[in-house]
Amino acid sequence: MEYNLYDFRGSSLNIQIAIIFIIIAVSFTVIAYLSILTGRYRAYQREKKLASLHPIIDNLLMEHILLNDELAGDVPADQVALPIEVFRLPVFEHRWARQALIDRLIDYRNNVRGAMGEQLRNLYIQLELDKDSLKKMKSRKWDKKVQALAELSNMNMSIADVTILPLTNSRNRELRAAARHAYIKLSKNEPFKFFDVVTEPLLMWDQVELFKIISTTERIAIPNFAQWITYSSNKSIVSFCLKLVVHYNQISAVPAVVKLLDTKDHYLRADAINCLGKLKMESVEDKLIQMYDSQPLNCQLEILKALGRISSGRYVDFLRQEFLHATDFDVRKHAAKSIINNQWAAKGLIDELVETATTENKLILKHSMNPLIKY
């Protein structure tokens, strides 16, 4: 060792630096492998413990809740005595075991309804597992907060607005989405209040998840979405509310949607036209035709689709002109589809176009006539 150290000191600077880097690289490699092996060993130990604990939890839940004849007979959950003491096993004094019990309760509650589901919730509360979830809400780690929100929302536990609303605007995407979903699901009076405070845009995936939560949550209070269409400065919120207006067929929101036709943002304008078309608002057809020539392509396409959805038959000649003379393929395609949708008023026109149109236009028309193809 003394010789090696003496030899190292006597080496050139380049060799010394290279040896130092080699030692550092080898050390970090060894540490990385040790951490991987340690993590795998801990995961193996955890899976081993859970494999022995899950049957115990399942047997307790089956015997005292899922196979309970009183609950099967639709007896109200608050009238069925819950044998809470049988669940107070020594193993549940450990945090990992309590977490396993929470996960199991959520799995079963997601697959049952009625008195059984309510009894599982009661068990969650009486074993004070909700306190474990609330402790995770105070964690500095975002993944713990996401886990807590999922647990509390699955168990239909209330969370104070002052706690959850700031999280709906978190910089972390996953935490932000989880908080928004939980707020809609758990808030009894104003489930859409976070629309007022959101500054970050709702990404498309966020909108899909929110729509799923909103449309499947029972007894949710649906507001008039016109208020956010009119006053929100968050364009993604406005766009999302337009979709909700269509889903809930909120005719009362139409005046607010019509005002969006004058907005400078042509993406929002296109969304507003799409909304009016899907609501089949015949009263806006004149305005759509008047503004058509001054619009960008995305808005023109939405106007053509709206004329087909409204299907009043009043603007068949306009659609014919666009189909025959437009140079853009998408314009001709949507004009053709809208003509087909107005076929009750354009039967003779369709036959005429099929006979006299160019080869390409003929293919577009036949394509549009296929009822299996949706736009």
Band the pLDDT of 3: cuts 50, 70, 90: very low
- Burial class for 134, CB neighbours closer than 10 Å (0-12, 13-18, 19+): middle
CA atoms within 13 A on the CB side of 140: 0
Sign of CA dihedral 155, 157, 163, 169: positive
The pLDDT tens digits for 333-342 are 999 899 888 8
Average pLDDT, the chain: 85
Q: Which whole number is the average pLDDT over 189-194?
A: 81
pLDDT at 154 over 50: yes
The pLDDT tens digits for 86-116 are 888 888 888 989 999 999 999 988 888 777 8
pLDDT at 134 over 50: yes
The pLDDT tens digits for 211-244 are 888 888 777 888 899 999 999 999 999 999 999 9
220 in the Ramachandran plot: left (φ > 0), alpha (ψ -120 to 50) or beta?
Answer: beta
pLDDT at 173 over 90: no
Lowest mean pLDDT among 9-18, 32-41, 286-295: 9-18
The pLDDT tens digits for 316-370 are 889 989 988 888 999 999 998 998 888 777 777 877 887 887 888 888 888 888 8
